[in-house]
Structure 1
Amino acid sequence: MNQSNKRNKSLGRGLSAILGTMSNNNVSNKINSTSTQNISLSKISENPFQPRSKFDNEKLHELAISIEQIGIIQPITVRKINAEQYQLISGERRFRASKIANFNTIPAYVRVANDEEMLQMALIENIQRENLNPIEIALSYKRLIKECELTQEACSEKVGKKRSTITNFLRLLKLPSEIQNGLIENKISTGHARALININSKTNQINIYNDIINNGFSVREVEQLSKEFSDTNYKSTFKSKKSQNLTFEYQKIIHDVSNKLNSNVEIKHNKSGKGKMTIAFKNNEDLKRIIKIINI
């Protein structure tokens, strides 16, 4: 096995494997992986390749309180820029929380890494974390593929994930930004989002997305809607609090009839099931058109 293949396989095993492989590149990089240094926080700059764009301030303050009480359990990892300056590779939450806790120094592993290696380390460490939202993971995969000039297959080998997993995450980035934000904010699940991807119309995607939130559609219900309205028009059914009480079956009837007649349709019913269906028309000509379709 050549050196290139060894390096690729180590990346798939995580950040520690990357650092271990890199330390063999030359004599100057041979630093004891079990030793740490206490480095002044003022000498450490943030990682410019950090793929995570948002940090929860409340959770950072909670971590700061924990650090004040028990200290740093896991050292951060930095690279040395010059005699007095370091740059963060991994551990940005611990780094930020230590500042909040008014610490002067922080324990750190010191490594030597070029910009590409820095990027790979930051991305791979973030991908392997469990608290990332699906869009952050997808963006990390996208950056790793684009900026490190990898194929999806090579990317899957580096991070130790199936290629289909990477493909499914990347597909989430094709969704409208409104839906991506909903996924970030946990308004919908990844299962909902993956079902929406199969719908060709962006308008339909947005309308169904809004109905997921307002009507509480399950993933299975959205999967059924994605089949029904992949290429046909979908009209949002949420109009008032009353419409929230409609079951999925009633919602589907509204969609089917509305699309068949190209008119707004409303259903009202009581607990016993008795009710009425209202079909809206614009004028006499529109009414005649609807009657013709119904074939009365």
Structure 2
Amino acid sequence: MTQAAKKQALGRGLSALLKDPDNDIKSVNDKNADKVVGNIIELEIDAIEINPFQPRSNFNEETLQELATSIKELGVIQPITVRKLEFNKYQLISGERRLRASKIAGLSVIPAYIRIANDNESLVMALVENIQRHDLDPIEIALSYQRLIDEVQLTQEQMSDKVGKKRSTIANYLRLLKLDPIIQTGIRDGFISMGHGRALITIEDEDAQSDIYHKIISQNLSVRETETLVKNYQDNLKPKTGKTTSKTALPFIISESEKKEIATVLGSKIDIKIDAKGKGKITIPFKSEADFQRILNLIKK
């Protein structure tokens, strides 16, 4: 018998043990608890309820179908994790994609690790294990960190120890929650990356933030191009020498790609400046009279 087959047989045997009402295991101190906790056991899918603390809220139907097909052919490779609620009743801690896909595949049982924990411990385990094991989008990860702060009162330092991430990394995720909800949705849906979001966070004005967000999408700007665009916007907000300037959002913003487009048409480097009222000027340098005539002819076309 192979090692995998032995584990499967053991899982079925322990499953029968859990269905014995006269020896119901309610805590780690109960008889046979050591045989159950930490072992892989085949549980009936109908006996497992979804964890209300589950941080993942988006499930791609196409990838679920792909996983279901894989499970039909190979079985569930990585067991889910559950906690025991009462006799023959369990709550999911992590592995909701595998559970959903197993239902689609028509499975009646699923391999699981069983833990006995209180609600608070279950919340921590669910959030931490999902952050570490699953392909959550950046906003879902940020929300998971925020829940650990709000509901479990963990500090960023404590979270750093639990999830194995630097405090600066955790702080960067949490800062994403300061973005406009529309931009957060853009990150969740994959229209922009976390890097784009981090660049946009530095803009306080919501209208300007929204303008640049739409430029990123419409012009397919890279993170570096976005950072340059944000820097140009912020430079225009800085007070001029001897003058005081309030931080008023510019009526519109010209991106580096737009500048390059004009420069390409004219065959010359240009400089564009805009003031808070929307007025501005384009400076076109030329090297000689012949170069001036060349540019003039292009403009006349």
Question: What residue is the counterpart of 2:250 in the other structure?
Answer: 234
Give, in angstroms, the shift of residue 244 of structure 1: 11
Deviation of 1:265 after TM superposition, in Å, equals 8.5
Cα distance, 1:116–1:248 mapped onto 2, change above 3 Å: farther
User: What is residue 39 of structure 1 aligned with on the other side?
Assistant: 43
Give distance in 1, aligned partners of 2:63 and 2:295: 48
Corresponding residue for residue 65 of structure 1: 69
2:29 is the counterpart of 1:27: yes
User: 2:149 — aligned with what?
Assistant: 145
- For residues 124-135 of structure 1, the aligned pairs below 5 Å read 124-129=128-133, 131-135=135-139
Provide the secondary structure at the position in 2 that maps to 1:209. helix
Aligned partner of 1:256 among 273, 282, 297: 273
Q: Does 1:118 align with 2:122?
A: yes
Mapped pair 1:157 → 2:178: no
The answer to whether the 8 A contact 1:211-1:236 is kept is no
Q: Partners in 2 of 1:88 and 1:170 — Cα distance?
A: 26
- Equivalent runs, 1:82-231 vs 2, <5 Å: 82-129=86-133, 131-230=135-234, 231=247
State TM-score, norm by structure 1.
0.73
Structure 1 residue 129, shift from structure 2 partner: 3.1
Q: Which amino acid aligns with 1:86?
A: Y
CA RMSD of aligned residues (A): 3.1
Q: Kindly tell me: are residues 140 and 220 of structure 1, through their superposed partners in 2, closer, same or farther at Cα, counting changes over 3 Å? A: same
Contact 1:217-1:248 within 8 A present in 2 as well: no
Q: CA deviation at 1:64?
A: 0.6
Q: How much does 1:228 deviate?
A: 2.8
Secondary structure of 1:86's aligned partner: strand
Structure 1 position 144, deviation (Å): 1.0
Checking the alignment, whether the CA contact within 8 Å between 1:38 and 1:108 is kept in structure 2 is: yes
CA distance in 2, matches of 1:188, 1:116: 34
Once the two structures are superposed, what CA deviation does each residue of 1:61-114 show, in whole Å capped at 9, x if it has no partner?
A: 111111111111121111111112111111111111111111111121221011
Structure with greater Cα Rg: 2
Deviations 1:233-282 (CA, angstroms, capped at 9, x unpaired): 234469xxxx997345759x79733x35524899xxxxx977659xxxxx
Matched, 1:246 2:258: yes
In the alignment, what sits opposite 2:17?
A: none
Q: 1:255 to 1:157 in 2, by over 3 A?
A: farther
Which whole-Å deviations, capped at 9, do the CAs of 1:5-43 have from their partners, x for residues lacking one? xxxxxxxxxxxxxxxxxxxx9423534566322211111
Aligned mates of 1:167, 1:244 — CA distance in 2: 29
Do residues 55 (structure 1) and 71 (structure 2) align?
no
Count of residues paired in the alignment: 244
Query: Aligned equivalents of 1:105 and 1:157: distance in 2?
Result: 34
The answer for unaligned runs of 5 or more in structure 2 is 1-26, 235-246, 264-269, 283-293
CA distance in 2 between counterparts of 1:248 and 1:214 reads 16
* Change in CA separation of 1:276 and 1:203 when aligned onto 2, cut-off 3 Å: farther
Output the amino acid matched with 1:27: N
Higher relative contact order (CA 8 A, sep 6+): 1
The normalised TM-score by structure 2 is 0.72
Gaps of 5+ in 1: 1-24, 267-271, 278-296
Assess, with a 3 A threshold, how the Cα gap between structure 1 residues 188 and 119 changes in structure 2: closer, same or farther: same
